[in-house]
Chain A
Amino acid sequence: MPNEAGGLRETLAQRGVSRRDFLKFCSAMTAVLALPPRYMPRVVEALETATRPPLLWLEYQDCAGNTESLLRASKPTVAELILDVLSLDYHETVMAPAGHQAEKSLMDTVEAYKGQYLVVVEGSIPTKDGGIYCTIGGHTALDLVQEIGGNAAAIITVGTCAAYGGIPAAAPNPTDAVGVRDVVKGVPIINLPGCPMNVQNLTAVIVHYLTFGAWPATDQLGRPLFAYGSRIHDDCERRAHFDAGQFVEEWGDEGHRKGWCLYKMGCKGPETFHNCPIVRWNDGTSWPVGAGHGCVGCSEPAFWDTMSPFYRRLPSVPGFGVEATADKVGLGIVAGVAGAFALHGVASAVRAKARPLNKTKVEVEEE
């Protein structure tokens, strides 16, 4: 059964994961969490000794994209962390039992570990017509998430659907789908939106919890600041081209081949908060903008409606005044207007000061 004492040390050794790889993993996690390097020993110690909170992974109106994101974590240490430090007691897509047996193992954990287990929710919850648009074992998703989620130590939503309703809630929202925080109250809820969420961020949230016994600081949308504290646009590798007024005008044109800015092709990076440019995907090798497609804003609530059509350019770019278009901003800077340059410098400095990473650091230090 879950919740035995004992962390990763022995499990990893048994499975042939070297101490060196484990330390590398801890160092990577410390970096994702934007903690100063001196916190690494604490992360190592916590992961080696943590008791195992049972984890229930619940799927409702979903496409299993977040499950894919989890299972594609190639580093063995990441999978070990989720499956061994945590005790994954229920996950429909990966578990062996089905039917009554599956439901039994779920309810056993809920009863035995009331208030101690963690819940991950993937997918939105339909509320129309008594919730009949998603049922499991004859119960509605609405009843299940309220009972199972309502008795958890905390809920982590993975993906924009579980966080804010996502694609099922896109206009005209045929099933009155909502996110978890609309229907479960009184339990800490950490939102990891994205379509899908990045498993690095899920792992980092869990590492933070195991290390400090607390959840990371979040913004008003419930998103951890370490992962959603800065704009895609501010960390983007194509940003120099934006500032220089070098834009892709057509798919496959010279600018596209040279890796210029995708703003005119509809990139929503200027309005989207996520750490994609830094953490990246596929083992850190690439990410959508890096691969040549604009950001669609998938970590923002209601992005299916507010950020579409996805290939229409944003009417204005925040930070440069509402009237400033890409052309004006680009030309202004290309022309070398000292004032514009100074302004941009100031704006960056203010943004740098406001960077929430520092906030996380301060809160940790105050412990």
Chain B
Amino acid sequence: MAKIAIDPVTRIEGHLRIEAQVDGGQVTDAWSSATMWRGIETILQGRDPRDAWYFTQRI
């Protein structure tokens, strides 16, 4: 039984980590983590709704 981790996953937009449990050549379990968080939902609270498109475009 071996566990492998690929971090960073490249050629994508954003940050991603993949971990996989490998058992006799078979992947038996896998986990993905987005390793970056900015809290844009929190930042949007209380703002002028007309500005929302400009913030959420940056996700």
Q: A308-B48, A308-B51 are in contact. Are A174 and B58 (CB under 8 A)?
A: no
Produce 1/0 per residue, B16-59, CB < 8 A to A. Answer: 01000000000000000001111110110001101100110011
Q: Chain A: interface residue count, which band?
A: 35 or more
Residues of A170-194 contacting chain B, CB below 8 A: 170-175, 177
Write out the residue numbers on chain B whose beta carbons fall within 8 Å of the beta carbon of A65. 58
Write out the residue numbers on chain B whose beta carbons fall within 8 Å of the beta carbon of A136. 7-8, 15, 35
Write out the residue numbers on chain A whose beta carbons fall within 8 Å of the beta carbon of B51. 308-311
Produce 1/0 per residue, A65-77, CB < 8 A to B. Answer: 1000000000000
Q: Which residue of A lies closest to B7 (CB)?
A: A137
Produce 1/0 per residue, A123-158, CB < 8 A to B. Answer: 000100000011111100000000000000000000
Question: Is A96 an interface position by the 8 A CB rule?
Answer: yes
Q: Which residue of A lies closest to B33 (CB)?
A: A135
Produce 1/0 per residue, A243-270, CB < 8 A to B. Answer: 0000000000000000000000000000
Q: How many chain B residues have a CB neighbour from A under 8 Å?
A: 28
Q: A63-B59, A99-B8 are in contact. Are A133 and B36 (CB under 8 A)?
A: yes
Write out the residue numbers on chain B whose beta carbons fall within 8 Å of the beta carbon of A175. 37-39
Shortest distance in angstroms between B1's beta carbon and chain A's nearest beta carbon? 20
Q: A92-B10, A138-B7, A311-B50 are in contact. Are A63 and B58 (CB under 8 A)?
A: yes
Q: Roughly how many angstroms separate A303 CA and B12 CA in the complex, as a whole number?
A: 28
Q: A93-B12, A174-B43 are in contact. Are A98 and B38 (CB under 8 A)?
A: no
Write out the residue numbers on chain B whose beta carbons fall within 8 Å of the beta carbon of A53. none
Using a CB–CB cutoff of 8 Å, the interface residues on chain B facing chain A are: 5-15, 17, 35-40, 42-43, 47-48, 50-51, 54-55, 58-59
List 7 tightest A-B contacts by C-beta distance, closest first.
A174-B39, A309-B48, A99-B6, A168-B38, A98-B10, A134-B36, A64-B13
